[in-house]
Chains A and B, each alone.
Chain A
């Protein structure tokens, strides 16, 4: 028997001849005077017509070009999976009482098919909190996707799920993935990849839901809705929900489970504000704020690994040159388009670099033991309130960490910085009520 599973719940431009129940539709359709792509649901610009007369979609070009000549093929999702023992769970760790309480709430909402949010501070152990609900879903034969707008988050998550759900077949999808797609019960992928799915999933877990580019992309929001079955639901995970989700909570449209304390019971490190007047002009003359340079030297001498966040990629070589001149060697720079990005992050974690200079790409999803953090230009608009809270959350993640600091150097006390400090204070107040201790 030929295997047609590749089209189960998919939206593919390549048909499988002879497949029963295969549904097909045009990839790009005319609606009135305009053309719309049926994979990403975006309008095609009037100028994006090829000389041979076809229209093509630029928005989802990275997934392979679709033109008005193409068709999309789907086989409705049949949930054809083998029965799993324990939902495939092979994790032997234990949840704390607080985590367990949250885990049960998540499981209850998932079973009821409710849209829900798990609002857990950075370092609360949110991945493990989802495990009981995930095992339960998989044991019921649900098809599940664990997605994130950030490729780093997917890459860090995939090996963990492979280890902790050893009994479940999984695949990992992102732009440039080395292994081709295959049909399986648990899919880990970027939100972009959901554009290739059509009513496939009973449950979608959206990790770091407030991260770029999902928060600002209506296309990706639609992708999540369309990849989900009509009776399916989703779970959002974040430490810093945006205004839209917070409003939905207040309006009672979104179930929420709240975890204000890190798994080890320590509070979040506060964001310390350091006013550095005209730091940008100083940097232009090849100087860092004196306080920052002194602080970095202290960390460097004490062999504490540290991250320095700067607003723009162009700032990286400038700051690096200053540090080299000051004799702080053994560090490197990382940015989004850096081909060695993954390798450098791994090397820093392994202790092969003494510090990393980076942009907001390392704001979330990464854990470095004993790390300290400085943000140069925390008042720059690229650092949103959520980004600042996430960056602060890189510090003190492990129970064995202590004394890690988060220092924000800015020209002025911007509203984003103020809000981030307030959010941390508010979370810590709640955490203290649950018995949290300062780190």
Chain B
């Protein structure tokens, strides 16, 4: 029996025939079936730019307003279940909950072609109070480069406390760390973030990465 990292109940992992045929150690799921079902994966029917779940594969209205060619993929919908997860993981600071989505992120990263993985950074104050970067918490040994930092002068309310209009007007919060250009020059970079809401944060980050000389920038978020 395993203990579900989210609800704390013990459960027996389901074993399927395909898992047995794979001839490798069976993965130990961190979530029970009930908690697993609280999250909704995004199907192939999504916006080709922001990755939002839709009934078609056309560029969505929000994306058409940006007039750019950002390309984001998202793993799960940002629905009530995902909000509850984020509430406990990010806002209540339950670091152990990172285990719940590590496997899903690992599989998603395997689907993407990139040279360098760059997680969205958190500012110094958040590092002190929350104690962890919620994005890198999901990584399980995949190499990444902390090429971006939050500028020291950037004192700001959390994105989640703002209206859409305010978010869109947020000034550039990121800068390249020393030596970033050496890493980024002519590489294909994948940005990694927790939630795509307006796309403002990712576009700011991409802008800086391009300044560092990257050849292409795409992004992956856990939720949209």
Contact = CB atoms under 8 A, between A and B. Distances in A.
A65 B93 contact: yes
A58 B94 CA distance: 7
Interface stretch (A46-54, A200-208, A214-222, A353-361): A46-54
Interface in B188-212: none
Contacts of B137: 51
B96 A58 contact: yes
A56 B128 contact: no
Contacts of B94: 58, 61, 65
Contacts of A58: 94, 96
B35 to A, nearest CB: 11
Contacts of B136: 51
A54 B131 contact: yes
A62 B91 CA distance: 11
Contacts, number: 34
Interface in B123-175: 127-128, 130-133, 136-137
B111 interface: no
Contacts of A47: 96
A100 B94 CA distance: 50
A52 B92 contact: no
Contacts of A67: 131
B133 A51 contact: yes
A56 B127 contact: no
B133 to A, nearest CB: 7
B96 A52 contact: no
A67 B130 CA distance: 10
A50 B95 contact: yes
B95 A52 contact: no
A58 B7 CA distance: 12
Contacts of A52: 127-128, 131-132
A61 B88 CA distance: 9
B107 to A, nearest CB: 23
Interface string B55-99: 000000000000000000000000000000000100011111000
Contacts of B128: 52
Contacts of B96: 47-48, 58
Nearest to B97: A58
B92 A51 contact: no
Nearest to A67: B131
Interface in A58-100: 58, 61-62, 64-65, 67
Contacts of A50: 93, 95, 130-132
A54 B129 CA distance: 10
Contacts of A51: 95, 131-133, 136-137
A47 B94 CA distance: 12
A48 B95 CA distance: 7
Q: Which of B88, B132, B133 has the largest number of chain A CB atoms within 10 A?
A: B132
A380 B127 CA distance: 48
Interface string B104-135: 00000000000000000000000110111100
Contacts of B92: 61-62, 64-65
Contacts of B132: 50-52
Nearest to A51: B132
B42 to A, nearest CB: 24
A13 B133 CA distance: 23
A52 B131 CA distance: 5
A314 B194 CA distance: 32
A57 to B, nearest CB: 10
Interface string A13-55: 0000000000000000000000000000000000110111010
B87 to A, nearest CB: 11
B52 to A, nearest CB: 25
A11 B137 CA distance: 31
Nearest to A59: B8
A51 B138 CA distance: 13
Contacts of B130: 50
Q: Which of B95, B127, B133 has the largest number of chain A CB atoms within 10 A?
A: B95
Nearest to B94: A61
B7 to A, nearest CB: 10
B125 to A, nearest CB: 12
Nearest to A49: B95
A176 B186 CA distance: 51
A64 B92 CA distance: 7
Contacts of A56: 93, 95, 131
Nearest to B88: A61
Contacts of B131: 50-52, 54, 56, 67
Nearest to A64: B92
Contacts of B88: 61
Q: Which of A48, A50, A67 has the largest number of chain B CB atoms within 10 A?
A: A50
A200 B131 CA distance: 32
B102 to A, nearest CB: 14
A67 B95 CA distance: 12
A424 B128 CA distance: 58
A54 B128 CA distance: 9
Nearest to A65: B93
Interface string A396-428: 000000000000000000000000000000000
Contacts of A61: 88, 92-94
A62 B84 CA distance: 13
B136 to A, nearest CB: 8
Interface of A: 47-48, 50-52, 54, 56, 58, 61-62, 64-65, 67
Given A62-B92, A67-B131, 18 more contacts: A47-B96, A48-B96, A50-B95, A50-B130, A51-B95, A51-B132, A51-B136, A51-B137, A52-B127, A52-B128, A56-B93, A58-B94, A58-B96, A61-B93, A61-B94, A64-B92, A65-B92, A65-B93
8 contacts: A50-B93, A50-B131, A51-B131, A51-B132, A51-B133, A56-B93, A58-B96, A61-B94
Interface of B: 88, 92-96, 127-128, 130-133, 136-137
5 tightest A-B contacts by CB? Answer: A50-B131, A52-B131, A65-B93, A51-B132, A54-B131
